[in-house]
Amino acid sequence: MSQKSYTVEANGIRQFVVEAGDGPPVILLHGFPETNFAWRFQIPVLAEGYRVIAPDLRGYGESDKPATGYDKRNMAKDIRELMRVLELPKIALVGHDRGARVATRFAKDYPDLVDRLVVMDNVPTRIVARDINAAIAKRYWFFLFHLVPDLPEALIAGREHIWLRHFFSDWTYDPSTISGEAFDTYVRAYQAPGAVRGAMADYRANAEDIAQDEADADVKISCPVMSLWGADFHAVGKLFDMAKVWSEFADDLVTYPIPQCGHLPQEERPDVVNKLLLDFLDGWRS
């Protein structure tokens, strides 16, 4: 299945997009510390039956990295405006990690535009903030470190490979999962001017994100939701009751812990993830 890449101007920024396939549109939103390269195992499989669209989020990869606009309501608007440019009336939406936060906000702000939602290995920011204790703070140290103005950028500059190696080793069931050319691809992405600052800006929007989430905490997501997570990730599946967490957000919910898997299910267990996605997307007709 051939794929194409391009940039579009939407919501005031240039967004870099990888696309493949024809059919009902499915948008894939990557997380940290990744780019849309994270979906390389899903795109060709899903593209056999769907039009698959994988943008780099604001601040990441080849998309623009402005100084502002990283609250999840505005990042969800990035996707809404991308849909407008691509003339997509409705989508199925898949988000991992930070992308799941954008996807969740999108599903609440634009309920008529999303047919079904998949969230992967993500504890919503509001829940992390509400439940934080010593054990959670230990695992979510990077949430706090990334909030510090300027210092992370200064410490990481020229050491992007060390910073990323920590996450890819610590966050995977098999620490060698992201290695070789895949690891080098991510290092190059985060060595680009503004890339580390863009990722930090995403985290630095946490307070605004929590305020948005608290304002409509009693509003459930109206479309069907599937929550997947790595059963062996110390900061998600081993730390939170994920089925209970996501039952606060959706009534029409299915949940799957993926065994022998850490934070990056789509890269660690792509065959399992692809089957779950295809089963859940079955019946989606634009």
Quick check: is 173 catalytic? no
What is the residue whose two structure tokens read 């946490």? 206
Residue whose tokens read 């535009």: 113
Q: Sign of the C-alpha dihedral, residues 155, 190, 69, 203?
A: negative
Cβ neighbours for 185, distance < 8 A, ≥ 6 positions apart: 37
Q: Do the Cβ atoms of 239 and 192 come closer than 8 Å? A: no
Q: What are residue 87's phi and psi, to 5 degrees?
A: 60, 50
Which of the following is catalytic: 30, 96, 146, 263? 263
**123 three-state secondary structure:** coil
Question: 185 burial class (0-12, 13-18, 19+ CB within 10 angstroms)?
Answer: middle
Assigned token pair, 223: 């479309």
Task: Count the neighbouring beta carbons within 10 Å of the beta carbon of residue 67.
Answer: 10
Which position among 203, 209, 213, 232 bears the catalytic label? 203
Question: Cβ neighbours of residue 77 under 8 Å, at least 6 residues apart?
Answer: 11, 109
64, 97, 115, 202: the active-site residue? 97
Residue 71 falls in the annotated catalytic set: no
Of 83, 100, 54, 88, nearest to 221 by C-alpha is: 100
Whether 97 is catalytic is yes
Longest CA–CA span in the chain (Å) reads 48
Distance in angstroms (rounded) separating the CA atoms of residues 152 and 175: 24
Cβ–Cβ contacts within 10 Å for residue 9, how many? 12
For CA atoms 188, 153, 55, 11, the dihedral sign is: negative
Catalytic residues: 97, 203, 263
